[in-house]
Amino acid sequence: MTTVTTEETTPELLRPHAEQAYADELRALAAIDDRPRPPSWQLSPWAVVTYLLGGALADGTVITPKYVGPRRLMEVAVATLATDRALLLLGVPGTAKTWVSEHLSAAICGGSTLLVQGTSGTAEEAIRYGWNYARLLAEGPSEGALVASPVMTAMRRGAIARIEELTRIPSDVQDALITVLSEKTLPVPELGMEVQATKGFNVIATANDRDRGVNDLSSALRRRFNTVVLPLPASEDDEVAIVTRRVEQLGSALELPTVPAAAEEVRRVVRIFRELRTGITADGRTKLKSPSGTLSTAEAISVITNGIALSAHFGDGVLRASDIAGAVLGSVIKDPVADAVIWTEYLEAVVRERTDWSDFYRACREVSG
């Protein structure tokens, strides 16, 4: 009988948490950070903003930018978390709300995993606490049978709790946060006790501009948050820089074969998305209809990454218009009727007239048939 032995290997993570991926940067900042730190914070507010926006440290360490946008927005967000107000990051899809939330939490408390994912089915237990029903039936209500939510765990640790898509959560469940945010306590009436927040506890929530009216926040809950609106990139150059940087990071993480993100293709995708988002061409001469999708920076990153994979595995290793045409079409046309008409008008009235875009025009016509 033959015995087969297998050597245990540590699996490589597809998408490490921020505190794992950028551990070296966080350590370097902590080593030189001599500014005042709020209770339980791993870094000072100045160092947290530096971590987010990037910069060179005195010891030569280069901190990569995690967010490209107005510095003041990040300063307001970080200053909010140093007070007793919770932070609400608001914006259209693809404005890096989740990304900023994760990196803020990683820099402030060293962990970003105390997360509640908001959906229409999110129950109150996800914010307050639940029960281990086997132990509850065997022992009755006890601390051993209590299952702490991420919010309760953050209160005990003096850490940051993250709540994604707050407006997706039913209104009555949202309001479970009111006592937590105002009194900094979470009552457990079944046990005649309460969990009081330790210093350093706070909440970062995100909400989508497009979801207004789904489950609007009550005025009582909204008052407990300081709202920071994250805008889309202000200029085409900023958006191109963001897309290029994230595509490089994703390509490395996914171990895609090396295919440089051709600058002209990145700029072309960004320009198409910006023109259709704003309803006017870059030169201001032609008004356009906007499709139903958001055409966000995140979608532009996805289009280029998909194009690189196509080029690497089924092309000649050079990113070309034919590699991105299909993904652009898929991003723009969400409604197969209305959006298809808008895209055809844009293709014929704008793309066709740009002589240096003839390769892209042909590729789109081939894809759309």
Mean pLDDT, all residues of the chain: 91
pLDDT of 216 higher than 90: no
User: Above 70 in pLDDT, residue 81?
Assistant: yes
Residue of 360, 142, 126 lying closest to 262 (CA atoms): 360
pLDDT over threshold 80, residue 305 = yes
- pLDDT in the model for residue 367: 86
Residue with tokens 């978390």: 81
pLDDT at position 295 over 80: yes
Over residues 269-298, mean pLDDT? 93
- Residue 5's pLDDT band, with cuts at 50, 70 and 90, is low
Q: What is the average pLDDT across 120-131?
A: 93
Which residues touch 303 (CB under 8 Å, ≥6 apart)?
269, 324, 327, 328, 331
Mean pLDDT of 163-174: 93
Rounded-to-10 torsion of CA 36, 39, 43, 49: -80
> Is pLDDT of 178 > 70?
yes
Q: Give CA angle at 173 (170, 177), nearest 5°.
A: 130
Provide the total of helices (H) and of strands (E) in the chain, helices listed first: 16, 11
User: Would you give the DSSP letter of residue 141?
Assistant: S
On whether the CB atoms of residues 116 and 56 are closer than 8 A, the answer is no
Q: Please compute the mean of the pLDDT values over residues 333-350 and round it to a whole number.
A: 94
**What mean pLDDT comes out for the span 282-298?**
91
Quote the radius of gyration of the chain (alpha carbons, Å): 24
Both ends of the chain: CA-CA distance in Å? 60
Residue 23 has pLDDT above 60, yes or no: yes
Residue 3 confidence (pLDDT) above 60 = no
Confidence of residue 2 (pLDDT cuts 50, 70, 90): low
Q: 217-253, pLDDT tens digit by residue?
A: 889 999 999 999 999 888 999 999 999 988 888 888 7
pLDDT (0 to 100) of residue 369: 66
**How sure is the predictor about 208, in pLDDT bands with cuts at 50, 70 and 90?**
confident
Write down the pLDDT at residue 263: 87
Q: What is the rounded CA–CA span in Å between residue 315 and residue 324?
A: 12
What gap in Å lies between CA 283 and CA 274, rounded to an integer?
A: 12
Joined tokens for residue 282:
């870059």
296-297-299 Cα angle (round to 5): 65
Q: For the residues of 81-139, what is the DSSP string, one character each?
A: HTTT-EEEEEESTTSSHHHHHHHHHHHHHS----EEE--TT--GGGTSEEE-HHHHHHH
Cβ atoms of residues 311 and 259 within 8 Å: yes
User: What is the total residue count of the chain?
Assistant: 369
Over residues 338-348, mean pLDDT? 94
Phi-psi region of 319 (alpha: psi -120 to 50; beta: other; left: phi over 0): beta
DSSP bridge partners of 62: 56
pLDDT-derived band at 103 (thresholds 50, 70, 90) equals: very high
32 pLDDT above the threshold of 90: yes
Residue 136, amino acid: L
3-state secondary structure of 170: coil
The DSSP 8-state label assigned to residue 213 in this structure reads T
